[in-house]
Structure 1
């Protein structure tokens, strides 16, 4: 659980990273996570509160991700088609809009692309490089899904040298029953949960 009130202003060296709160991952989408739409609403409220000076988003943006898509998915390494480039499913879920973010990092064009750190801006700038250029040393991570792309982004954030906190109250999981083990994994890696 989070340790500080989410509305409390964060230091300017901390960025909020909103992971994959997209139509296909919210109720009604092709790979919906229960609670996804509520996450979108709650994240919008946090962004609107002005608690963070720097707020960015990541998006799945699949073109041809190979075996990541399957007609017979195992829901571990393969999934139904989702967040295909140019489709409504890849857009941010309302009330979120791209204009709310300082930058949007698309990932997974030709790969699974779980981590936001695999993403880049339309100009080709990576998430890690962009954050460093803004003087960011810590990131708070939220979004969808806790047990996949939020997890991967948090772990990669630590590997990239950032202090990382996951705002679990602003996430939803594909498999909620696995959250206790996931919390242990993240904590062991140096992520604050």
Structure 2
């Protein structure tokens, strides 16, 4: 018997418009998630967040935006908080924090307050399949989806409920995810690669 979970990746102030690592469309994704959750049935919902304390070389005053980045999602700052348009209570108490002392792109590197990993939590809920949404398509969404496949979960990324950094890296991420066996839904093949917008997503 299959059971499906939704993983909401890093819908935080610093990754939305006005944040230190703003992604175009981030606030729109944040605003769309609650309606999506209300209109789709999941057996479990989890949210991940960057929650940095001292991630070492992940932060740089001269970032290359590949391996090093401006300071973001620092514990205790407004930037680390979930975007106000996203009601994190849809995830209940299942919030997984990652990257306290490392880069940690994947939600599978995160821990709940009691130390449970995302994979452990999914298995405790007998989850077989996951849908992944959030920010950014070409970084933490991709890393989470790839780790989900490696862990043996059937994995789908719902592209209209993601926001990415740049067309080239979004396309590269899509190709990498497809090659790994991630399913992708909601992509308009006639639209520019950077125009991953919010739309009705007919799944389940």
The question of a shared fold, defined as TM-score above 0.5 by the shorter chain, is answered with yes
Matched, 1:122 2:122: no
Query: 2:69 maps to which residue?
Result: 79
Count of residue pairs the alignment pairs up: 183
Matched, 1:113 2:104: yes
TM-score (norm 1): 0.91
Corresponding residue SS for 1:15: strand
Please state how far the C-alpha of 1:44 moved relative to its aligned partner.
1.7
Matched, 1:56 2:40: no
Query: 1:148 maps to which residue?
Result: 139
Q: Distance in 1 between matches of 2:154 and 2:163?
A: 22
Query: 1:43 maps to which residue?
Result: 33
User: What value does the CA root-mean-square deviation take over the aligned residues?
Assistant: 1.3
TM-score (norm 2): 0.86
Please point out which of 127, 138, 148 is paired with 1:157.
148
Please state how far the C-alpha of 1:50 moved relative to its aligned partner.
4.2
Unaligned runs of 5+ in 1: 1-10
Q: Distance in 2 between matches of 1:12 and 1:190?
A: 18
Matched, 1:185 2:176: yes
Query: 2:166 maps to which residue?
Result: 175
Query: 1:20 maps to which residue?
Result: 10
Corresponding residue SS for 1:17: strand
Matched, 1:30 2:20: yes
Unaligned runs of 5+ in 2: 185-204
